[in-house]
Amino acid sequence: MNAVVIAVLVMLILSLFRVHVVLALVTGAIAGGLTAGFSLNETIEFFGAGLGANAEVALSYAMLGAFAVAISFTGLPNMLVKGALKIVGREGDSQARKLSKVLLLLIILLVSISSQNVIPIHIAFIPILIPPLIKVFNALMIDRRAVATIMTFGLKAPYIFLPFGFGLMFHTIVADNMAESGMEIELAMIPQALALPVLGMVLGLGLAVFVTYRKSRNYQDLPIGETNDNNKETDFSYSLSSVLIGAASILAVLILQYNTESMIFSAFAGLVIIYIYYTVMHFTGKQKISATETMMTDGMKMMAFIGFVMIAAGGFAEVVRETGHVETLVATVSGWVGESKATAALIMLIVGLLITMGIGSSFSTIPIITVIFVPLAAAIGFSPLATIALIGTAGALGDAGSPASDSTLGPSAGLNADGQHHHIWDTCVPTFLHLNIPLLIFGWIAAIIL
């Protein structure tokens, strides 16, 4: 049995049975290592060696969580939410509520898309934007599974199709690796080849928002950062100075994130601005500086889940790579496909899905599959455009729906700020069904017709 297949299946099955994702990743890694012939000690050693791979990412999310809570202490989100609730209302014209719902979802979609290219900060916007909006989601009775699908679409589709920001990085990786494997292409060919697969994702998004998760869903108004049944809401007071400080810190984070490409440093800078404000307020007797310890602790608690999963995912990916069975899995495809383009395309895409679901990164999957897919596609008679469609789609498959992908972990962390959004059943399953399956189908069609 192929160790990669075993590891991914064990991880996914345990996750679906609501076993915590970290435990599922560890168990999957052990199963994969033992299947590959490693001893338990060797498997644990490889797993430990990979834990540091995502440590920087985990710390980044912890800092962003702390910054998100710090922003709430300034009262800026509370002011915006109260204003939105007045506009939306809990009673009244249902048509106005529908329009408010559509407008809010559209804004989230545009911000998510912009985070990949216009302001390439990836998921850094989520802990700042989403937790303060949860009360608005509740007032509008928005199904958070629709919001999760929207954000994952916005985090994924732009880098597949648009050659800007993270998209330029993805396209360059595809082109460079194809060239190294013997097939020279132009960067301009990539959007052409991947337009149809992305169209499938657009249709899947529409299905999720306007059909599957269209109906209202009730949530309790729980305080952000708490998961018990205490319904007492935290009411952060605000003043003109605190709101201005909150806005200035957000602006500083966005600018520094764009210029330094460091989530840790940009979040740190935002925290420093708010710390200075609290220090000044402490000496004027208007605030207690001890509140800063609370906001750091609460913020890190909010994002601890995503940090631990990312660290465990690094260990899982290291075990998967060390087995050597990733290359074996890709090479085995050549013995299955025969001369049928339809069969070859389907199997190649499924292999890409398995690899990306396990590793959790489309960018890391491309170099692995290109080595075999390029000569295999050329031998079967796929055109360069069809080969790009196969490699780009196969690499992107699994980024949505994977328990270990930041495209699903980010939305879950933001939407679960009050403990009412399940990572697997409310983010991974919806995004897999509505984004991955259409991407696979339309990617297969593109490979056949191009």
| pLDDT band for position 78 (cuts 50, 70, 90) | low
Q: Nearest to residue 354, comparing CAs of 326, 318, 383, 386?
A: 326
Measured between alpha carbons, how far is 412 from 427 in angstroms, rounded to an integer?
6
Query: Which residue would you say has higher pLDDT here, 346 or 335?
Result: 346
Q: What pLDDT band is residue 272 in, cutting at 50, 70 and 90?
A: confident
DSSP secondary structure letter of residue 382: -
pLDDT tens, 374-413? 877 887 888 999 999 999 998 888 778 888 787 888 898 8
pLDDT beyond 60 at 348: yes
Give the Cα separation of 341 and 270 in Å (integer): 53
Residue whose entry in the numeric block shows the structure tokens 């465990």: 312
C-alpha distances (whole Å) from 245 to each of 61, 256, 277, 432 are 22, 16, 7, 40
